Amino acid sequence: MADKLHFSLVSPARELFSGAVDHVIAPGTEGEFGVLVNHAPFMTTLKNGVVRVLEGDVVRHRFYVRGGFADVTPAGLTILAEEARNLSDASAQEIDIEIEAAKLKVLELDAGDTKRVVIEHQISYLEGLRGALAS
């Protein structure tokens, strides 16, 4: 197990993944980065994007995250995401429905309503998630 990286992906709703892996690639705000076992410690913020979990050279899991933090320690990599979804569990049709519902909510709000910004960020996240399904 010493040649494996312990990786944990957690959202406010639940822990999506925890286990030993070979390599994780994540969307940092300063650019995409990869983490292998025995990586130097660091902490960074994340942007919306796909986290890929690899076994050897094969991507075994893909998660779409909305922001958050990545913390690399001697114990491994922990990602604390604002929101995250396992791409293998997501369907384009369900996401399209969520996007349309969010767009309707925006139309119901006054131009100055502060809730607009939150919903618009959610729409952006959902559109990115939808795009990640296509790739």
- Check which CATH number belongs to the domain holding 56 and give it: 2.60.15.10
Same domain (yes/no): 37, 17 = yes
Strands 76-86 and 49-55 come out as: unpaired
Q: In whole angstroms, how large is the CA radius of gyration of the chain?
A: 16
Same domain (yes/no): 74, 118 = no
Same domain (yes/no): 36, 74 = yes
Same domain (yes/no): 58, 97 = no
Residue 110 is predicted with a pLDDT of 85
What pTM was estimated for this model as a whole? 0.89
Same domain (yes/no): 121, 57 = no
Same domain (yes/no): 9, 72 = yes
Strand-pairing partners, residue 19, are 7
Same domain (yes/no): 74, 10 = yes
Residue 88 is predicted with a pLDDT of 94
Same domain (yes/no): 9, 74 = yes
Number of domains in the chain: 2
List Cα–Cα distances, 89 to 62, 84, 94, 97, 103, in angstroms. 10, 11, 11, 15, 23
Residue 121, domain extent: 92-134
Same domain (yes/no): 109, 124 = yes
Same domain (yes/no): 34, 80 = yes
Q: Give the pLDDT of the chain (135 residues) as one tens digit per residue.
A: 569 999 999 999 999 999 999 999 999 999 999 999 999 999 999 999 999 999 999 999 999 999 999 999 999 999 999 999 999 999 999 999 999 999 999 999 888 888 999 999 999 999 999 999 987
